[in-house]
Amino acid sequence: MKNYHLTVVTPQEIFFQGEVASLIAPGGAGSFGVLADHAPIISTLVAGSFILTTPDGEKRPFQIGPGFFDLLNNQATLLTTSISS
């Protein structure tokens, strides 16, 4: 499976920066999933469950606060008020 770069940012820190195989995020209009080569997207995020899958297939679940998600050319950024495992 092809991977893409994800950066997860909170007001306090860069929480995660690296390659991922996929993610599932709680969008403002409902949950959505993203794989490599996804069409460009900008979405609001609501508080809820966020799951990223690493290149080796490990699923890492988190709880996030509201925020925004942006993806363009396999470079994704998730901005959130808070994140915890």
Sign of CA dihedral 80, 71, 46, 63: negative
Cα→Cα distances 23→12, 44, 73, Å? 22, 15, 16
User: Where in the chain are the domains?
Assistant: 4-84
Q: Domain 4-84 in CATH: superfamily? A: F0F1 ATP synthase delta/epsilon subunit, N-terminal (2.60.15.10)
Query: To which H or E segment does residue 45 belong?
Result: strand 41-45
* Residue 59: per-residue pLDDT: 98
pLDDT reading at 1 higher than 80: no
| Lookup: tokens for 10 | 């909170």
- What is the rounded average pLDDT of the residues 18-27? 98
Q: pLDDT (tens digit, 9 = 90+) per residue, 23-44?
A: 999 999 999 999 999 999 999 9
